[in-house]
Amino acid sequence: MNNHPTIPVILGTARDGRESEKVAKLVAELAQAAGFQTELLDVREYMTSQTIPWWDKTPETENWQKKMAQADGLIIVTPEYNHSFPGELKILLDKAYKEYEGKPAALVGVSAGQFGGARAVEHLKQVLLKFELHPLRNAVYFSDVASQFDAQGVLINEEYRKRIAKMLDDLKKILI
């Protein structure tokens, strides 16, 4: 692997007023500062009204597959909705398959409650394993996310910066 792996940050919800967007932007910023080549991939930019399987060669699948083929790993930021991850994230992930094989995936859970998206992350890990992605053992969990950022979207609780840095170090150990 090269010294500047390509690690996109996937924002896994299209919901209006999404608090997880602040988290995804922060993670992308910190990933770039840590030496990763990164970009924020917003699920909204890849929305389709139905699941398109990876073997259907459509512009939607080919675009996503190209992005995933170029990636050395992934960071997925997912909110928890009703004890799981959003359906639009699953629809997005289903657009590729072989492009994921063997790549690490770091997970960041986000919730308004006290568990920080832990149930969504656990469900997502099962899906990622099917895609032959390798979820990192430890995820970052943003609990009570609305209180973690100020009105301008600046992180208040610096402890999360440390947790993200640890996650990025874990990715580096695998990739570099």
Q: pTM to 2 decimals?
A: 0.96
Tokens of 166: 């640890």
Identify whether the C-beta of residue 167 lies closer than 8 Å to the C-beta of residue 26. no
∠ at Cα 26 (172, 73), nearest 5°?
Answer: 35
Fold of 9-175: Rossmann fold (3.40.50)
Spans of all domains in the chain = 9-175
Would you give the DSSP letter of residue 82?
Answer: T
Identify whether the C-beta of residue 102 lies closer than 8 Å to the C-beta of residue 72. no
Written as tens digits, the pLDDT of the chain (176 aa) is 568 999 999 999 999 999 999 999 999 999 999 999 999 999 999 998 888 889 998 898 999 999 999 999 999 999 999 999 999 999 999 999 999 999 999 999 999 999 999 999 999 999 999 999 999 999 999 999 999 999 999 999 999 999 999 999 999 999 98
